[in-house]
């Protein structure tokens, strides 16, 4: 069962909380794992021993493959569909409202919801292997829940370039140019070195100033408390279509 739901772990050292998630299916997210990440971010938001959060995933393959296809295929009605996509709404809102700045360590490819996570980080480091793709239209749905986070980072024009070319990967340098990544490194070792140095400096700053800066970065997103759940309902409806069911089965094969 543990292999099916994946895992989440947190370590805290020198005021830096490192949150690591993982799943055998390319670090994808079933609902239970999404809820664990939401709960952990909410907890860290209220932890006075933490000034900064690093979000990362396990391994050296994909950073995050987004939603669990197996679970998507099991959705049988609108309530279930809306609930499933609300999992990503919950995580993005938790990242948005977390009182701590969140630094993303994007070591590999990100698809769908994984792109949403990368964009919801306040600052992100990546490697040259960290290509991104929003393939949702190709399976009959769309990146509706994560769209506000993606558009906030890279703008509507770049969003269109990703969503309408649903089968195309955009490389890490493209993502950096559009604002998704702050820096891109040739190796994971270089990424880790810079991440360690950067976060150590950031964590040494006044935690109240960091928290206030976090609020400034997310000004104008207060409507996400309702918007993301409205979007989850759209996706929840579309995932029930025959087009999407067939497309998901083809993707699995």
Q: How does pLDDT run across 135-175, given as a tens digit for each residue?
A: 999 989 999 999 999 999 999 999 999 999 999 999 999 99
User: What CATH number labels 2-187?
Assistant: 3.90.226.10
Rounded Cα gap, residues 204 and 15, in angstroms: 9
pLDDT band for position 253 (cuts 50, 70, 90): low
What is the rounded CA–CA span in Å between residue 215 and residue 217? Answer: 5
Mean pLDDT of 91-108: 98
Torsions phi, psi for 106 (to 5 deg): -100, 95
Return the number of other C-beta atoms located less than 10 Å from residue 200's C-beta: 13
Distances (CA, A) of 48 to 86, 89, 207, 220: 28, 25, 9, 26
Q: Sign of dihedral through CA atoms 43, 48, 52, 58?
A: negative
- The number of residues making up the chain comes to 253
């Amino acid at each position: 069962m543990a292999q099916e739901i994946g895992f989440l772990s947190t370590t805290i050292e020198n005021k830096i909380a490192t949150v690591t998630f993982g799943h055998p299916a390319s670090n994808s997210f079933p609902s239970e794992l999404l809820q664990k990440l939401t709960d952990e971010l909410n907890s860290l938001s209220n932890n006075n021993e933490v000034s900064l959060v690093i979000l990362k995933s396990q391994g050296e393959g994909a950073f995050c493959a987004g939603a669990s296809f197996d679970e998507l295929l099991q959705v049988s009605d609108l309530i279930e569909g809306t609930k499933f996509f609300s999992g990503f709404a919950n995580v993005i809102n938790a990242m948005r409202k977390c009182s701590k700045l969140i630094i993303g360590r994007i070591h590999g490819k990100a698809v769908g919801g994984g792109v949403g996570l990368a964009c919801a980080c306040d600052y992100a480091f990546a490697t040259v292997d960290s290509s991104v793709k929003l393939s949702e239209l190709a399976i009959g749905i769309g990146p509706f829940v994560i769209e506000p986070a993606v558009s906030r980072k890279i703008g509507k024009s770049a969003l269109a370039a990703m969503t309408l070319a649903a089968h195309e990967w955009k490389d890490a340098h493209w993502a950096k140019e559009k604002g998704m990544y702050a820096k891109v490194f040739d190796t994971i070792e270089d990424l880790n070195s810079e991440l360690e140095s950067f976060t150590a400096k950031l964590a040494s700053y006044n935690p109240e100033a960091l928290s206030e800066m976090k609020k400034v970065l997310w000004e104008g997103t207060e409507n996400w408390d309702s918007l993301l759940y409205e979007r989850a309902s759209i996706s929840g409806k579309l995932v029930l279509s025959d087009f999407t069911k067939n497309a998901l089965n083809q993707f699995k094969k």
